[in-house]
A = this chain, B = another copy of it.
Amino acid sequence: MEDVPSKSGIRSSYHHGNLTEALTEAAIALARGGGPDAVVLREAARKVGVSPTAAYRHFAGHSDLKEAVKHACQDLLGGSMRAALAAEPELPDPAAEACRRFRAIGLGYFTFARAQPGLYLTAFCRIDRDDPHTALEELDHAEPYALLTGALDDLLAAGLLHPARRPLAEAVVWSAAHGLAMLMIDGPLAQFGPEILDAAIAATMDTILAGLTQPPSEDPPT
């Protein structure tokens, strides 16, 4: 009973109990406040009330901690998208439903980016590691990407995504979404009010969706 960690970061017992999780949570809080560069091992240890060295019993080093935070951020983003998906009832018409799903996950995505810019940036930050996974491999296991893939499949089935556009659709949609989020967080759109941002989000999703429905223009003969 006396080794239950207190929330204030001051614990009573010598052993912490669940330092891995406590450090991760503290690091997530840092990311929330200042993005990926704010994820500092010493500061996380400080917040938990533990010496910096203690972190090395639970993480290989700073990169390892940062990566744990990154994955947590991706999960949170995925959660926001899923929540938006579940917020409205399904529509009976398959085309309308596919369209709804596409817009819903987009909305969940942008809502998260606006509400938690630090976490959003961390979810997509670069990690310098000794053991470099491929970025694609990581992405494949991440929920946000899986949700997008599913939504695109639905659009295809509903006839709202032109078959010739399917193969590169992930890249096209992800680009627009990521770019818009970055412009809102860090870029020239940051200074506008919520109404304008809402309009920019709607316009972007609408334009992409309209474009994906159209057949691709022919390649110029070479």
A residues whose Cβ falls under 8 Å from a Cβ of B: 124, 126, 134-136, 138-139, 165, 168, 171-172, 174-180, 182-183, 186-191, 199-200, 202-204, 206-214, 216-217, 219
Q: Knowing that A172-B176, A206-B216, A211-B214 are A-B contacts, what are 6 other residue pairs whose CB atoms are under 8 Å apart, sorted by A's residue number? A: A138-B188, A168-B203, A171-B204, A182-B182, A207-B212, A208-B211
A-B contact pairs, 18 of them (CB 8 A): A124-B187, A134-B191, A136-B191, A171-B189, A171-B200, A171-B204, A174-B183, A175-B179, A175-B183, A176-B179, A177-B179, A178-B183, A179-B180, A203-B216, A207-B208, A207-B211, A210-B210, A214-B214
Minimum Cβ distance to chain B for residue A9 (Å) = 29
Minimum Cβ distance to chain B for residue A181 (Å) = 8
State whether B180 touches A171 (Cβ < 8 A): yes
State whether B168 touches A178 (Cβ < 8 A): no
A199 to B138, CA, bound (A): 22
